[in-house]
């Protein structure tokens, strides 16, 4: 396996969707913030003391534990709710540690095993109203990222909700990553311990149901949302337990991570091999109970061993079909209607598959070899021929669209062709199938395509994976980015970018508040139609001209291959 192919697989499975909040009133935003007051709320576990900002008109409650510490005997175990009161007040005025992860963005932020915490941001002035709630699940390929990462500041999102007349409360949380959250084996299955990280998320959603009213939120009006692996996670929760509705949310938003997973499930045989390798690496082979032994290994030694195993099995720490929370392939669940039929927003960018695609592939033969590797499946000759026919060797119809037709090295001659295939395979087919499945069952779905290239993103990448996040979160200040995504020229183009960010963020706030994206209050834009399988349409967020509605039929022949052959591609 070439290093280029290995790196691409790692990149596409990792797909970092750095999320939510800026450190409270960071100096990059306000050099001399006012001294905050300290709002308090009372829940069953005790009183929580937060921070207040007059500048933003918001209260912040940060780093609240939603489960017992995931250390000691709680390592490699399902998260346990906190069933007792804490002593005194809980001071929730700083973000909690992120969960340990591989190649974390913003490496200076604290991380540890004791990471099951969440954040609540609420606007002031609504004490007599129960506000709708947005719960954001961060991405990062289930291997990295965390709710304290600065680029996706939910402060800005809450601010836009108020300004658009659709006030909400925002919640974000951490969940266990890599082996800490995805370790699997027969030993663990026998103990009922499967898909730990996904079940961390589920417990956080239960916490919201039990406690958000104390913060002024309405537990009956919760929308779960996420991007990349966070979007995939949202999809999992709509399909969880065979589509059982536990009343944890009334709506869902999947951004660049639809209910049809972008890649393979964790292979249980490989996961068992990785478990054995980890047991051997930390000297637990001869233990009477390997799981008990793993829990006794010091954190640093365990983390080193996990990294060593990951070096041999890159990107393999993934969720898997366990017969419990994940009962079957998502393509089967969607086909059979086994999902919670709440209203959804589901979207993708125009050039999803360009992310990390610096691969020197110049011939059709090399392209076929890559496809068989990247799809982690045994493609039939018939499927290969169909794909090659649907995606011809013509850069004019490849992506990113427009000039130049060919990019210089390290982009190979087949780059645009490959990018189109990767975009549709990994994300666009799943986005289309998810919207279609909802519409076919009479459930409400709205679909979008983001078609804007942010400042600082190379032309070769186009509107690549997670290119829309600063727009979703109305991050006009560019917090957390080397280049502010809105800093384009000329000034008229920048103004259009800002309008696009306002529209996108406010449409999402409208959906959280009213279950429709059309109450955003901005004039001059077409109505965003519900997805109709007979006449499917996307709302296109276009920063260069103006946003519009399009038929969702581009690259229909190629995308239909991935939809109709979902089982062959291990979805």
Q: Which residues form the catalytic set?
A: 228, 352
Contact 505, 471 (CB under 8 A): yes
CA 79 from centre of chain: 21
Residues near 413 by beta carbon (within 8 Å), at least 6 away in sequence:
361, 362, 363, 406
Question: Which whole-number Å values give the CA distances from 506 to 257, 307, 461, 471, in the listed order?
Answer: 21, 41, 26, 10
3 state DSSP class of 86: coil
Token representation of residue 232: 């995939």
In angstroms and rounded to an integer, the radius of gyration of the C-alpha atoms of the chain is 23
Token representation of residue 162: 């108020």
3 state DSSP class of 135: strand
Token representation of residue 243: 């589509």
Round to whole Å and give the CA distance between 420 and 388: 11
Contact 368, 382 (CB under 8 A): no
Long-range contacts of residues 419-422, Cβ cutoff 8 Å, at least 24 apart? 419/351, 419/353, 419/354, 419/357, 420/353, 420/391, 420/555, 420/558, 421/353, 421/367, 421/371, 421/387, 421/391, 421/558, 422/12, 422/352, 422/353, 422/354, 422/357, 422/374
Element (H, E) at 316: none
Question: Which whole-number Å values give the CA distances from 298 to 182, 229, 282, 288, 294, in the listed order?
Answer: 19, 29, 10, 19, 9
**Alpha-helix residue ranges (DSSP H) falling in 424-490:** 429-440, 469-472
Residue with tokens 């296109």: 540
């Amino acid at each position: 396996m070439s290093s280029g192919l290995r790196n691409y697989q790692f990149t596409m499975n990792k797909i970092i969707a750095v999320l939510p909040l800026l450190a409270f009133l960071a100096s990059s935003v306000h050099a001399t913030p006012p001294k905050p007051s300290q709002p308090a709320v009372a829940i069953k576990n005790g009183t929580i003391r937060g921070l207040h900002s007059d500048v933003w008109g918001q209260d912040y409650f940060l780093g609240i534990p939603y489960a017992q510490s995931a250390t000691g005997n709680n390592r490699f175990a399902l998260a346990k709710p906190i069933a007792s009161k804490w002593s005194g007040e809980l001071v929730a005025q700083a973000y909690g540690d992120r969960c340990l992860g591989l190649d974390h963005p913003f490496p200076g932020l604290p991380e540890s095993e004791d990471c099951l915490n969440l954040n609540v941001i609420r606007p002031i002035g609504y004490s007599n109203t129960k506000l709708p709630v947005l719960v954001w699940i961060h991405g990062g390929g289930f291997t990295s990222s965390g709710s304290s990462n600065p680029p996706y500041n939910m402060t800005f999102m809450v601010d836009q909700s108020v300004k658009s007349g659709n006030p909400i409360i925002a919640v974000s949380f951490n969940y266990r990553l890599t082996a800490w959250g995805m370790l699997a084996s027969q030993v663990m299955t026998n103990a009922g311990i499967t898909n730990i990280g996904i079940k961390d998320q589920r417990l956080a959603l239960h916490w919201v149901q039990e406690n958000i009213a104390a913060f002024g939120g309405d537990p009956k009006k919760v929308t779960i949302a996420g991007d990349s692996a966070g979007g995939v996670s949202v999809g999992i929760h709509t399909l969880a337990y065979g589509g059982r509705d536990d009343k944890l949310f009334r709506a869902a938003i999947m951004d660049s991570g639809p209910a049809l997973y972008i890649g393979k499930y964790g292979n249980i045989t490989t996961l068992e091999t990785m478990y054995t390798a980890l047991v051997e690496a930390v000297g637990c082979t001869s233990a009477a109970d390997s799981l008990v032994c793993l829990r006794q290994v010091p954190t640093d030694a365990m983390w080193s061993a996990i990294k060593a195993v990951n070096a041999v099995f890159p990107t393999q720490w993934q969720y898997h079909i366990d017969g419990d929370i994940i009962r079957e392939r998502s393509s089967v669940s969607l086909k059979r209607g086994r999902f919670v039929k709440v209203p959804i927003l589901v979207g993708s960018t125009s050039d999803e598959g360009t992310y990390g695609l610096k691969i020197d592939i110049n011939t059709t033969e090399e392209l076929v070899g890559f496809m068989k590797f990247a799809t982690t499946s045994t493609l039939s000759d018939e499927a290969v021929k169909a794909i090659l026919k649907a995606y011809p060797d013509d850069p004019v119809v490849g992506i990113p669209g427009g000039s130049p037709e060919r990019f210089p090295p390290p982009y190979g001659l087949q780059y645009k062709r490959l990018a189109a295939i990767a975009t549709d395979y990994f994300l666009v087919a799943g986005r289309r199938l998810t919207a279609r499945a909802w519409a076919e069952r009479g459930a409400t779905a709205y679909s979008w395509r983001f078609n804007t290239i942010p400042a600082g993103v190379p032309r070769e990448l186009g509107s690549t994976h997670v290119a829309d996040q600063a727009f979703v979160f109305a991050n006009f200040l560019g917090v957390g980015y080397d280049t502010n995504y809105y800093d384009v020229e000329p000034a008229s183009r920048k103004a259009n970018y800002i309008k696009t960010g306002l529209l996108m963020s406010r449409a999402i706030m409208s959906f959280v508040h009213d279950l429709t994206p059309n109450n955003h209050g901005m004039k001059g834009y077409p109505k965003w139609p519900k997805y109709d399988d007979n006449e499917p349409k996307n709302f296109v967020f276009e920063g260069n001209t103006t946003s519009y509605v399009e038929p969702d039929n581009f690259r229909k022949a190629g995308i239909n291959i991935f939809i109709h052959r979902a089982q062959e591609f291990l979805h």
